[in-house]
């Protein structure tokens, strides 16, 4: 094995000389030791002082100006504080205003009794109780306050029933006095009187003829075939079963007949050759012409 070789730096690298030793230089002392002169302080020239003063003044002016003109920015209005969130409330229910107070009314006055009016005459009123209603008195020229208008001893109603004029002293028929008119049916061969002021619905050929008063009442004459010549009573008994039937006796023309009262309906029934004649008066309306109805029954003639 080769021997280990140790290399050293040749002296040539040092120039063959011993390295030069540099002496340590003491730091100069600066005038701290009394008696030893110190360096003279550098003197500041007036020009430098002036420039420095101007610079300071300039900086002061500029700074003050900046401070002054930025004051508004610094004093910016405070940001308004957001309003606290208000929880929406449901719309209030509109409450109607209270009703105005109604002033208290004065106490009611005591009821005033209506004036008492005189009693109104009814249609059937017979003021003088002579058998003729006041309305009928107007039909025959008699006075409603005088029972015997012509003072002949017979009441007005009695005279009309017997076809006489109640307002004439001399014996005089209603027809002759002009208070009654004769209706003649040549077709059905009968005659009947009726008050002159009344109107007629129907003619001589009509099976039904209606005699009408100015006050709305009417008397009806009906002609019914009677081929078997049934009697008036037999006809009434079979056709007006609920009626009260009574003999009419013989009328002023000598004609026998019956009277049938069925409620408010009054009927006079006559029998002719081949026909039955029914005279009807419905009294439900007013019933002011009962005596006139009887007068008409008494006037019926049948021409056989
Ligand atoms: Ca009378
Ligand atoms: Ca008389």
Instruction: Kindly report, residue by residue over 67-78, the tens digit of the pLDDT.
Output: 666 665 555 445
Shortest-distance ligand to the CA of residue 156: 2
The pocket of ion ligand 1, defined by CB under 5 A, consists of 126, 128, 130, 132
Averaged confidence pLDDT in the chain: 81
- The first and second tokens of residue 43, run together, are 């003197």
Q: In sequence order, what are the beta bridge partners of 190?
A: 185, 302
Q: Check: CB of residue 271 under 8 Å from CB of residue 229.
A: yes
Shortest-distance ligand to the CA of residue 147: 1
Ligand 1 centroid vs 128 CA: distance in angstroms? Answer: 5
Quick: pLDDT tens for 48-60: 677 777 777 777 7
Measured CA to CA, the distance from residue 82 to residue 86 in angstroms comes to 11
Q: In which band, very low, low, confident or very high, does the pLDDT at 45 lie, cut at 50, 70 and 90?
A: confident
Domain ranges in the chain are: 125-178, 199-302
Q: Report the pLDDT value the prediction gives residue 131, as an integer from 0 to 100.
A: 97
| Range 203-227 average pLDDT | 96
Q: Which helix (H) or strand (E) holds 245?
A: strand 244-250
Q: In which band, very low, low, confident or very high, does the pLDDT at 35 lie, cut at 50, 70 and 90?
A: very low
* Spatial CB neighbours of 148, under 8 Å, sequence gap ≥ 6: 130, 154, 155, 156
Q: In sequence order, what are the beta bridge partners of 195?
A: 180
Ligand 1 centroid vs 237 CA: distance in angstroms? Answer: 34
Q: In sequence order, what are the beta bridge partners of 268?
A: 259, 279
Ligand 2 centroid vs 270 CA: distance in angstroms? Answer: 29
Cα separation values, 19 from 10, 11, 13, 14, 22, Å: 14, 11, 11, 7, 9
Quick: pLDDT tens for 76-114: 445 455 555 655 555 666 766 666 676 676 666 667 666
Dihedral over Cα of 173, 178, 180, 186: its sign: positive
CATH class assigned to 199-302: alpha beta
Ligand 1 centroid vs 158 CA: distance in angstroms? Answer: 10
Q: Report the pLDDT value the prediction gives residue 301, as an integer from 0 to 100.
A: 97
Shortest-distance ligand to the CA of residue 158: 2
Of 266, 271, 265, residue with least CA distance to 233: 271
Ligand 2 centroid vs 64 CA: distance in angstroms? Answer: 147
SS3 291: helix
Q: Report the pLDDT value the prediction gives residue 96, as an integer from 0 to 100.
A: 63
**What is the β-pairing status of strands 208-212 and 199-201?**
antiparallel
Q: Report the pLDDT value the prediction gives residue 30, as an integer from 0 to 100.
A: 47
Whether this prediction's pTM lies above 0.85 is answered by no
Quick: pLDDT tens for 128-151: 999 999 999 999 999 999 999 999
pLDDT over 50 at 31, yes or no: no
pLDDT over 80 at 232, yes or no: yes
């Amino acid at each position: 094995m080769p021997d280990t070789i140790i290399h050293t730096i040749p002296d040539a690298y040092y120039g063959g000389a011993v390295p030069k030793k540099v002496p340590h230089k003491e730091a100069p002392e600066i005038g701290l030791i009394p008696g030893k002169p110190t360096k003279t302080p550098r003197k500041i020239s007036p020009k430098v002082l002036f420039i420095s003063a101007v610079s300071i003044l300039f900086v002061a002016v500029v700074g003050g100006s900046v401070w002054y003109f930025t004051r508004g920015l610094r004093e910016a209005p405070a940001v308004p504080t957001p309003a606290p969130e208000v929880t929406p409330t449901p719309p209030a229910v509109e409450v109607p205003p209270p009703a105005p107070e109604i002033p208290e009314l004065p106490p009611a006055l005591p009821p005033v009794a209506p004036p008492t009016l005189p009693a109104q005459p009814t249609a059937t009123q017979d003021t003088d109780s002579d058998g003729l209603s006041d309305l009928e008195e107007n039909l025959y020229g008699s006075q409603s306050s005088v029972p015997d208008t012509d003072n002949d001893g017979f009441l007005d109603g009695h005279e009309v029933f017997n076809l006489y004029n109640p307002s004439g002293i001399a014996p005089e028929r209603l027809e002759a006095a002009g208070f009654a008119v004769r209706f003649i049916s040549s077709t059905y061969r009968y005659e009947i009187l009726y008050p002159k002021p009344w109107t007629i619905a129907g003619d001589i050929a009509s099976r039904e003829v209606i005699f009408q008063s100015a006050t709305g009442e009417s008397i009806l004459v009906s002609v019914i075939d009677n081929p078997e010549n049934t009697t008036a009573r037999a006809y009434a008994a079979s056709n007006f079963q609920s009626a009260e039937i009574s003999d009419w006796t013989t009328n002023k023309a000598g004609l026998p007949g019956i009277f049938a009262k069925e409620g408010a309906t009054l009927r006079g029934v006559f029998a002719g050759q081949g026909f039955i004649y029914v005279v009807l008066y419905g009294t439900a309306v007013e019933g002011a012409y009962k005596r006139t109805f009887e007068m008409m029954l008494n006037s019926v003639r049948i021409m056989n």
